[in-house]
Amino acid sequence: MATLHLNNIVKDFGGTQVIKGVDLEVKDREFVVFVGPSGCGKSTLMRMIAGLESTTSGEIAIDGERVNEVGPADRGLAMVFQSYALYPHMSVEDNMGFSLRLAKVPKAERREKVLAAARILQLEPLLDRKPKALSGGQRQRVAIGRAIVRNPSIFLFDEPLSNLDAALRVQMRIELAQLHEELDATMIYVTHDQIEAMTMADKIVVLQDGVVEQIGSPMELYHHPRNRFVAGFIGSPKMNFLEVEVRGADAEGVEVALPGGDCRVPVAGDGVSAGDVVTLGIRPEHLALDEQGPLTGQIQVIERLGGVTSLYLEHGDSEWILVADGDVAHRVRDHVRFTFDPARAHLFTADGLALAHLERHPLVDIDRKENRASSASGGQR
């Protein structure tokens, strides 16, 4: 059992508030991912949870018990950093067992725990090696192994994969997701990587400037971002935005003016009225080339990725990214017309808040575990 509650957490660094009242509930065995721009406070929040940084005000509770005054070693947590320093003169086994040795755990028990962790991480054949004789991914696994042997109730990972090359990141991402299932542990994970956040998280916490902008499942943040910041932050390439004038609005929809004619977006239009300027948001993958489409643009750049092609379009002051089929035959400087399904569009008021979609997307409430084949073995635990 390991739950975590943050209650109105504040962090002040010499008069500058960098965490501005964060509330968060992490359930037992949940995989929670923190994302947000550089400097928004992700590492500070992790370090406060770990007890490496004091808390200016608010309460941190683990399993319902306040831990603000409890030292890092006694919180039952283990943290894996981006820059994991392994001891170069020690073998993999000694590196992994080091914290147990410090805690005066008897040798036989130490070895048993290290072997169990090595089995999970597939490090058994490497236990006698020194770190310099390991690949980057293997070293990363040793760093994770060091955390596992401590049998923490909560794992904290601060960008653990950012030093690895792309292929290794994919491999480690899958291994970490499997590890989460095997250990049945609560995990909190910081990343800049959209794919890691979307694929690993039960719940994503989007932070900006020390404030939580939204907490939700990956699909919820993708389909129902609550404001323009979250809409622009989640998803790659980024959502397109266009300022448009409202023609009319009621509880069932908002009619907005587009260059090629008006368009009715099925969102609750309470609070907006004709003449207001709102922001229309459409994801690049939800735009489609269409010779009769209401929008036009000239192709500036073409990025062919094989399976899909990104077109960077310009029309007057507005810029668009459109993700098209891989085999699209257009060339740079071509003029194209394009369209979108209004049900997939988003509208944001002048203060950046999203108008609510009339229907919740059907995938939003599906548990992440239902998407994974390995959940079939979940009953063996």
Distance CA 70, CA 60 (A): 10
Looking at beta carbons only, is 13 or 87 nearer to ligand ATP? 13
Instruction: State in angstroms the smallest separation of the CB of 42 from Mg ion.
Output: 5
Instruction: State in angstroms the smallest separation of the CB of 193 from ligand ATP.
Output: 11
Instruction: State in angstroms the smallest separation of the CB of 234 from ligand ATP.
Output: 16
Instruction: State in angstroms the smallest separation of the CB of 82 from ligand ATP.
Output: 8
- The burial class, CB within 10 Å (0-12 / 13-18 / 19+), for 58 is middle
Instruction: State in angstroms the smallest separation of the CB of 132 from ligand ATP.
Output: 27
Which residues ranging from 345 to 374 are in contact with ligand ATP (CB under 6 A)?
Answer: none
Between helices 92-102 and 136-148, what is the axis angle to 10°?
A: 20
Which residues ranging from 19 to 58 are in contact with Mg ion (CB under 5 A)?
Answer: 43
Looking at beta carbons only, is 42 or 228 nearer to ligand ATP? 42
**Residue 296: both structure tokens together:** 């036009």
Omega of the bond leading into 237 within 30 degrees of 0 (cis): yes
Residue 249's H or E segment, with its range, is strand 240-250
The sheet carrying 253-258 orders its strands as 261-265, 253-258, 240-250, 277-282, 346-348
Looking at beta carbons only, is 18 or 364 nearer to ligand ATP? 18
Distance CA 293, CA 49 (A): 51
Pick one of ligand ATP, Mg ion, none as the site partner of residue 18 (Cβ within 5 to 8 A by kind): ligand ATP
Pick one of Mg ion, ligand ATP, none as the site partner of residue 40 (Cβ within 5 to 8 A by kind): ligand ATP
Quick note: the x/- pattern for ligand ATP over 285-314, rule CB under 6 A, is ------------------------------
Looking at beta carbons only, is 160 or 218 nearer to Mg ion? 160
The number of beta carbons lying within 10 Å of the beta carbon of residue 268 is 17
Distance CA 129, CA 94 (A): 10
Report the interface residues with ligand ATP, using CB under 6 A. 13, 18, 36, 38-44
Tell me which residues touch Mg ion (CB under 5 A). Answer: 43
